[in-house]
Amino acid sequence: MKDRSITSKEGRNLFPYISKAGWIYIVEDDLNLNYIKVGYTVDLFRRINSYNVVRPKNTCKYTYISKLFENAFMVEQEIHRKILNSTSRTTLRKEWYLSKDKDEILSIIKRAENHFALSSISVF
């Protein structure tokens, strides 16, 4: 049996994440226009609902959805590394960035699409 234990620095097993196709997205919240979130998902509908479930109105929306990646988790990790090299971290969690950096972030995601996306078809 193949050993499927690929772990993070914190010791978390990453195998369930690294083998799933999915999308990289940017989410903006109408209640806080100064920040954007960059993440990945294998289920676009469920992910956006998870942001809006705690709000009285659906204020979070996708402003960008990438082309499909075979290994969205690993691509997302590399995108975050590149973003952090060219922008400032805004919180202790590396997934939130200043909205003023959106053009640079989009450029990084689009370069990843050019190299790693499964198809030329995008959702957004």
Q: What tens digit of pLDDT does each residue of 45-76 get?
A: 999 999 888 888 899 999 999 999 999 999 99
Domain with 86 in it: what CATH number?
3.40.1440
Domain that holds residue 109: 15-117
Contact 110, 69 (CB under 8 A): no
Whole-model pTM? 0.78
Query: Is residue 75 in some structural domain?
Result: yes
Say how far apart CA 20 and CA 51 lie, in whole Å.
Answer: 21
Considering the domain boundaries, does residue 66 fall inside one? yes
DSSP structural state of residue 37: E
Number of domains in the chain: 1
Percent of the chain with pLDDT over 70: 75
- Greater model confidence, 123 or 86: 86
* Straight-line distance from the first to the last Cα atom of the chain, in angstroms, rounded to the nearest whole number: 40
Both tokens of residue 90? 């805004």
Q: Is residue 47 one of the residues assigned to a domain?
A: yes
Give the model's confidence band at 11: pLDDT under 50 very low, under 70 low, under 90 confident, else very high: low
Residue recorded with tokens 């922008």: 87
